[in-house]
């Protein structure tokens, strides 16, 4: 314990991480009070030991409903831990964020990136994209409405009945609903995908338009850093700085650690496990 005390005393970063778990113990280190630190550790150990003995006593009583509930919870927790360990060993890629499906296209000669969403009933253009592509003159305002989706209520400015979209060297006629505050530039929904007999080919990582055109999905570095399901940037999630420091102290890069904490909802243990798994999968 004395060596750990000396290490914490000399390392401010480790103290800040330690404070996240036990402020009282961190205070004792900063005040150079080893006796108080030892006393706190002993109290924590005794309390934890007493709780464990009490818990086991209740679980050993076959007539105790509380004990049976605790046994059931323990079995459930062990099953979940086993499933987690199995998944980490046999399919670690499940804990790596999946790249959403985006393609390049041109509308009126303007380069755009479109989000491919076969779960969306209709295809959408943002107002900003429609303006950039000089399409606002084609918006039929008779179709104005308020639409409800995963991201909440949106104002629909109208509908573009036909416009020419270029995929690679081929041209296709498409129609779009125009939304006023949609942060995704273009969303290719099921209406366009069905009309042009599109195939989402994940094996070859491309979107096929019948037999006439095929375009690759964009890599992770090329796609907008937004969540298409909410229309919000993932950076709006506040990352716990202490937990971020903990992951950095474990040797992970700050950007990777921050991204994983966002994905895991600031769950430090899950984020660390996923990062270790990701590194193991790459090695």
**Which residues carry out catalysis?**
117
* Number of other residues whose CB lies within 10 A of the CB of residue 269: 9
Listed residue (121, 112, 126) closest to 180, CA to CA: 126
Strand, coil or helix: what is 3? helix
β pairing state of 139-140 and 152-167? antiparallel
174 in Cβ contact with 112 (< 8 Å):
no
Backbone angles phi, psi at 197, to 5 degrees: 50, 50
Residue 225 and residue 115: Cα distance in Å, rounded? 12
Ranges assigned E (strand) in the chain: 102-107, 110-116, 124-126, 139-140, 145-149, 152-167, 170-179, 186-188, 198-201, 206-209, 213-216, 226-227, 232-233
CA separation, residue 91 to residues 63, 81, 127, 183 (Å): 42, 15, 41, 33
Give 245's contacts (C-beta < 8 A, 6+ positions apart): 13, 16, 17
CA separation, residue 56 to residues 49, 73, 187, 230 (Å): 11, 13, 56, 46
């Amino acid at each position: 314990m004395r060596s750990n005390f000396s290490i914490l005393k000399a390392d401010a970063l480790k103290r800040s991480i330690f404070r996240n778990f036990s402020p009282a113990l961190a205070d004792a280190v900063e005040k150079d009070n080893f006796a108080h630190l030892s006393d706190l550790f002993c109290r924590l150990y005794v309390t934890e030991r007493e709780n464990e003995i009490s818990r086991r006593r209740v679980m050993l009583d076959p007539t105790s409903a509380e004990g049976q509930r605790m046994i059931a919870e323990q079995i459930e927790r062990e099953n979940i831990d086993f499933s987690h360990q199995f998944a980490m060993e046999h399919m670690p890629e499940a804990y790596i964020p999946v790249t959403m499906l985006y393609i390049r296209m041109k509308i009126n000669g303007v380069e755009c990136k479109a989000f491919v969403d076969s779960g969306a009933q209709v295809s959408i253009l943002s107002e900003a994209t429609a303006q950039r592509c000089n399409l606002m003159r084609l918006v039929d305002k008779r179709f104005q409405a308020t639409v409800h989706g995963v991201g909440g209520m949106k104002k629909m400015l109208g509908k573009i009945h036909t416009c020419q979209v270029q995929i690679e060297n081929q041209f296709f006629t498409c129609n779009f609903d125009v939304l006023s505050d949609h942060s995704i530039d273009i969303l290719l929904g099921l209406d366009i995908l069905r009309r042009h007999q599109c195939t989402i080919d994940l094996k070859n990582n491309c979107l096929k338009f019948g037999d006439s055109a095929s375009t690759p999905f964009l890599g992770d570095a090329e796609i907008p850093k937004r969540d298409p399901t909410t229309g919000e940037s993932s950076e709006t999630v506040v990352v716990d700085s202490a937990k971020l420091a903990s992951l950095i102290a474990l040797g992970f890069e700050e950007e990777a650690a921050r991204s994983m904490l966002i994905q895991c909802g600031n769950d430090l243990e899950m984020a660390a496990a996923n990062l270790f798994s990701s590194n193991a999968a790459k090695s």
